[in-house]
Amino acid sequence: MLLNWIMLDAAAKTGDASASTTGNWTSMLMIVLIIAIFYFLMIRPQQKKQKEIRKFREALKKGDRIITAGGILGRIKEIKENTMLISVANDTTIEVDKGSIYPSAADANEQQAAKGNN
């Protein structure tokens, strides 16, 4: 790659316009290729994961088992606009932000098994 760049740079300095144009297009193509690879390997999978989590949070209902970002396990007792009341033990209820809710590992395994059976 470096050798190609050096040869193209030398050709551009000698006044060969076609080599200079080719060098510009090659550079532009490489930049576009790097951006495309970056998008498909990093950005798109993260967007898909965020979409799945958002769909999960919208589908939550009273009685579902959940886990918070802090690792607290519990069942949903009440759903409010931006928060949820979670029962973590007998007579113990906490209020957490909806953004910190994730599916419990056991529920995720059960859902995967159910998808596999269908």
> In this predicted model, what pLDDT tens digit does every residue of 61-82 receive, in sequence order?
898 888 888 888 889 999 998 8
Asked whether residue 111 falls in the same domain as residue 87, the answer is yes
- Residues 44, 65, single domain; the answer is no
Say which residue, 34 or 13, is predicted with more confidence.
34
Structural domain count, the chain: 2
| pLDDT of residue 112 exceeding 70 | no
48-61 mean pLDDT? 87
Domain final residue, candidates 55, 71, 98: 55
What percentage of the chain has pLDDT greater than the value 70?
69
Question: Is the Cβ–Cβ distance between 76 and 84 less than 8 Å?
Answer: yes
CATH of the domain at 92: 2.30.30
Instruction: Domain of residue 19: give its range.
Output: 2-55
Same domain, residue pair 66 and 111: yes
Q: Are residues 66 and 110 in the same domain?
A: yes
- pLDDT computed for residue 97 by the predictor: 92
Q: State how far the Cα of 24 lies from the Cα of 21, in Å rounded to an integer.
A: 5
Other CB atoms closer than 10 Å to residue 8's CB: what's the count? 19
